[in-house]
Each structure stands twice: as structure tokens, then as C-alpha cells.
Amino acid sequence: MDFQELIVEAESLRGAERLERLRRADAELGKVRLYLRLCRQWDWLTAGQYEHASRMIAEMGRLLGGWLKATGT
């Protein structure tokens, strides 16, 4: 939820404030990746569920990376 909120906030900002929100969103996405790996490790997700979620998170990371690059990092 924090990731999504930061993306929504960044959408309405410009300059340094946008960049700060995007960087925080990147950190939150890192946490999601960690939690996803733990869920798989603890068998809370099947291999197929993990693969699907990993692909979706990777796509979000690519989109966020593009936005960061366009914003000026």
C-alpha cells in the first residue's frame, strides 16, 4: 500500500519532491520483493504464484525505473 500511495503522490508533484517520492517508492518495492521471497520460502505461495507475482513486480520495477530516469536521476 505504501508503494501505491507514493506513486500516486509522485504523480501530482514535480522536481525534487517527485524524485523523493519515487525513490521512496523504489525502497518500498524492494520490501515487497523481500516479502514475496519470504512467502515463497515459507510455502505460503506455490511456485506458479511466486512466478506470476515476481513478473508483475519486475514490470512495476521497470516502469518505476523509467519514471526515475525521466525525472532526472
- What pLDDT digit, counting tens, does each position of 37-68 carry? 999 999 999 999 999 999 999 999 999 999 99
pTM of the full structure = 0.87
In this prediction, residue 72 has a pLDDT band, given cuts at 50, 70 and 90, of confident
**Segments forming the whole domain that contains residue 18:** 2-71
Interacting residues of 72 by C-beta distance below 8 A, sequence separation 6+:
19
Cα separation, 62 vs 38, in Å, equals 22
Interacting residues of 26 by C-beta distance below 8 A, sequence separation 6+:
64, 68
Q: Which amino acid is at 16?
A: A
24, pLDDT greater than 90: yes
Q: How many domains does the chain fold into?
A: 1
At 25, which CATH number?
Answer: 1.20.1440.60
